[in-house]
Amino acid sequence: MADVFVSYAREDEPQATRVAGALRGEGYEVWRDNELPAHKSYADVIEERLRSAKAVVVLWSAEAARSQWVRAEADAAREMGTLVQTSVDGTVPPMPFNQIQCAELKDWDGRPEHEGWRKVQASVAELAGGTKQPESSKRSRQGTSVCVLPFANMSGDAEQEYFSDGISEDITTDLSKVSALGVTARNTAFMFKGQAADVCGIAQKLGVSHVLEGSVRKAGGRVRISAQLIDGRSGEHVWAERYDRDLTDIFAIQDEISNAIVEALKLKLLPEEKKAIEKRGTTDVEAYNLYLLARNYWISGNWGDTKQMELVIRICHRAVDLDPGYARAWGLLALVQCILHFTFAGTDDDGTAAADRALSLDPNNAEGHCVRARHFYEQGRFGEADEELARALQLEPDSWELNREAARIFYFQRRFEDAVRHYERAVALDDSDFHSWGMLSSAYQALGDEDGTRRAAKMAVDHSQRVLAHDPTNGAAIAMGATGYAILGERERVEEWIGRSKLICPDNVIMRYNFACLLAQYFQDAEAAIDLIEGDFDSYQPSALKAVVADPDLDGIRDHPRFARLMDRAHRILEAEAASASSAAS
């Protein structure tokens, strides 16, 4: 178990990353909730790690003081005598913690000589057993570590950014296959995108020995890639190279960069690791380019934008036309088809054929397993769905799309702790995901967590407003923003947004369903909520009916005679659907 447990509010994740990195640099084993395993409940893992830690470092801030989770963790640590308090924004700890010494880290920039940090060091050392083995000596025994910063797009065309991001991700993936090398996760590295790189500061914050940075210039049939491997302690270049080649050489360039880093760090590359690095999934450069483009549209798209989903599907189809053996493109195609079919009724293709093709080409294709999980869930085979989800998340634990889909499946099984865990992971991977923030607020509310509910609601409003500033027709953003305002008690804002939506996107069924939920849950207006659901009921697909049956936001109107009649109809439709599926399977 870890020596140190770090407790913090989600808004303070950058400070938590810095504290954890500094403690790891001093040789401590550190745990925080970005390392939650996929197969256990959120609360169980937190309690297990909290009670086994020798020191619990609590990062107090204005948000942390309002967080039920942070206060509960601090209270448990106080009772066990393992509490180490810090303030990262000058906030005084709430009662009764204000009677215990608190180290001030408001202006701490990672320097070990900082007075507040020295207090933290002394307390942790006393609780965790004194001086630990220096990180430098641990690295010499356990191997080195690297963070691959997002390569800068030097193409002079912002639309080419998907290509430079894709190169960065692929190099990260390649290096993670080297057993002797620790590699920072993609989502953590991309936190520094667009920032002036303070390599030594980044290395210290993340507790890595080396940093890789570079740039990509793609023009016509040529590509120029520059890369530099830098010692995180001294700031000196360990290796640097520039590649100016035909675009068709892109795979060879990536292989050369990975192998050069391994050689420069004097690591031993096992034969099977070399083979894994050189496995690209495709030898067709245009298919690879299209896959990167499709994935960029998928990651950057807004939930509920079916036109963007259809665009991703068209691009993936073109990629697999060029290379029918490209498992990654088949997997992405399957996932988007599945979500479009079940959630938005936007296509007859449910992704089964594409998922089967992806898994026949690569049994470790995470998206293929996720699609199978969704199909098992829709069939009511929940144990098999759990197994496939666990397999997918084991293969790609830092996948935004897989965590979001897992959260949705758990939410509509009313497994809210599991849903919270994966929605929290999704927003940690993509903070701008307004839909997950909105769903997270509902999941927290179902758990009775007022602090979590309000925090998620504020983020849902903030990110929905940003989306609507660029796309005022986005019905999902209107619905999630309105839900956030409802949770925050701003009824006038809710009514304003509902009125706006009737003019902008009157045919958006999912948006109206979300309005029904907030009318039922937050305004106890059963008649208005039922009017909205009843008006669209005949257009609901089976997946939507399952949502109506399970959604906790509608619990307050389930005893209403009109809603009870709708639920009877929903159950009859779902039973007939299940019987039809069972007959077809036999």
Using 50, 70 and 90 to split pLDDT, how confident is the model at 307?
A: confident
Give the per-residue pLDDT at 137: 35
Give the per-residue pLDDT at 401: 83
Coil, strand or helix: which one is 379? coil
How does pLDDT run across 49-95, given as a tens digit for each residue?
Answer: 888 888 999 999 988 888 878 888 888 888 888 899 999 988 888 88
DSSP state of 132: P
Give the per-residue pLDDT at 316: 96
Tokens representing residue 284 in the block: 């067709």
Give the per-residue pLDDT at 136: 37
Q: Could you give the CA distance from residue 407 to residue 392 in angstroms, rounded to a whole number?
A: 13
Range scoring the smallest mean pLDDT among 9-18, 268-277, 371-380, 557-566: 268-277
How does pLDDT run across 520-530, given as a tens digit for each residue?
Answer: 888 888 998 99
Give the per-residue pLDDT at 34: 59
Cis before 561 (ω within 30): no
Q: Which helix (H) or strand (E) holds 367?
A: helix 366-378
Do 143-280 and 4-135 have the same topology in CATH? yes
Cα angle 49, 391, 144; round to 5: 60
Give the per-residue pLDDT at 132: 47
How does pLDDT run across 141-163, given as a tens digit for each residue?
Answer: 344 789 999 999 888 777 788 88
CB 455 within 8 A of CB 488: no
Give the per-residue pLDDT at 582: 66
Res. 130: pLDDT tops 60: no
The alpha carbon dihedral of 539, 545, 551, 554 has a sign of positive
**CATH no. for 143-280:** 3.40.50.10070
Q: How many residues does the chain have?
A: 586
Using 50, 70 and 90 to split pLDDT, how confident is the model at 440?
A: very high
Res. 140: pLDDT tops 50: no
The alpha carbon dihedral of 399, 388, 579, 517 has a sign of negative
Give the per-residue pLDDT at 138: 36
Range scoring the smallest mean pLDDT among 45-49, 252-256, 558-562: 45-49
Q: Could you give the CA distance from residue 379 to residue 317 in angstroms, rounded to a whole number?
A: 27
- For every residue of 419-467, DSSP letters joined together read HHHHHHHHHHH-TT-HHHHHHHHHHHHHHT-HHHHHHHHHHHHHHHHHH
Res. 165: pLDDT tops 50: yes
Give the per-residue pLDDT at 224: 92
Range scoring the smallest mean pLDDT among 91-95, 425-429, 463-467, 563-567: 425-429
Q: Domain limits of the chain?
A: 4-135, 143-280, 530-586
Is the domain spanning 4-135 CATH 3.30.420.40? The answer is no
Q: What is the pTM of this model?
A: 0.65
